[in-house]
Chain A
Amino acid sequence: MTTPLHIPQHILDDMVAHARELDPYECCGLLAGTNGAVSHVYQIKNIVALEGAEKLSSFDPAKVAHLERLSPAERAEIAFVMDMQDFSVAKKDIRNKGLDLQVVYHSHPHDPARPSITDIKIATDYEEIWPKINLPIPAYLLISLMDKSKPDIRGYWITNGTVTPAPITTTV
């Protein structure tokens, strides 16, 4: 799971375009490929604005309390919840193409490209889930739009609550 990540420039561009399209709301998605070499991007709907999503059991009580004070649109500025129907469709396509999940990405429209406490908690909860649904533990990629003209993209491994940078190489 410490395989170096290689992401072609056109896929980085696709992710930034996705983040900008949804700005000021958070976007989310998956990258798939082989042995760290990414070849496909899957945009997933952020359904945090759906009724009930703010109470997602994965969120810690402080996050739920915070989200409950916000309107659905405001929630989508500071959180994402993947549409699991989209996720399953993507998972099936990844499998059919003989690829593997490499990366889970999301954007931070107003904040740095660093995993939040919520990101780390949920990634840690998920460590035991990935093998049970026959997927490898992915890297996590954050796109910050704090500087709108210069999006910042950073990758991380999140293992047992510990975050380490996942270097990304690219080619045009």
Chain B
Amino acid sequence: MIKVRIPTPLRPLTKGQGEVETKAESVLDMIEALNTAHPGIKDRLCDDTGELRRFVNIYVNEEDIRFLKGKETSLKDGDEVSIVPAIAGGTPCRA
């Protein structure tokens, strides 16, 4: 099984779970499996063309998949995947 860490902002989609386990042989597989179990999560991670959004990182055992094989990065039993949303912020909302 692959352990996937879900960041706080995406936990409403995983019923509050900060960590989920799934079976997958690649990151692409993992995204599809997550989306089946937790509909809507793929849309948060990928754009309309299926590419990883630039405001999300996916780390496999602490390495960004962009430095591996992207979505084709293979996964094996026991791998740990972290989904990391962009660091963001802003000034106060004004009326």
Interface residue ranges, A against B (CB under 8 Å): 26, 28, 47-48, 50, 52-53, 56-59, 62-63, 66, 77-85, 87-88, 91-92, 104, 106, 108, 110-111, 115-119, 122-123, 125-126, 128-129, 132-134
Contact = CB atoms under 8 A, between A and B. Distances in A.
B55 A79 contact: no
Contact of B87 (A57, A104, A115, A116): A104
B54 A83 contact: yes
B91 A110 contact: yes
Contacts, number: 119
Interface in B80-95: 82, 84-94
B90 A79 contact: yes
B87 A122 contact: yes
A53 B55 contact: yes
Nearest to A86: B54
A56 B90 contact: no
Interface residues of B, number: 30
Residue of B47, B88, B92, B93 with most partner-chain A CB within 10 A? B88
A84 B67 CA distance: 12
Secondary structure at the B interface, as helix, strand, loop or mixed, is mixed
Interface in B1-37: 5, 7-10, 18
B69 interface: no
Interface of B: 5, 7-10, 18, 44, 47, 53-57, 59, 62, 64, 66-67, 82, 84-94
B72 to A, nearest CB: 17
Nearest to A132: B82
B86 A82 contact: yes
A129 B82 contact: yes
A21 to B, nearest CB: 18
B68 to A, nearest CB: 11
Nearest to B56: A84
B32 to A, nearest CB: 19
B58 to A, nearest CB: 10
Contacts of B47: 52
A115 B89 CA distance: 9
B88 to A, nearest CB: 4
A104 B85 CA distance: 15
B90 A119 contact: yes
Nearest to A84: B57
A111 B54 contact: no
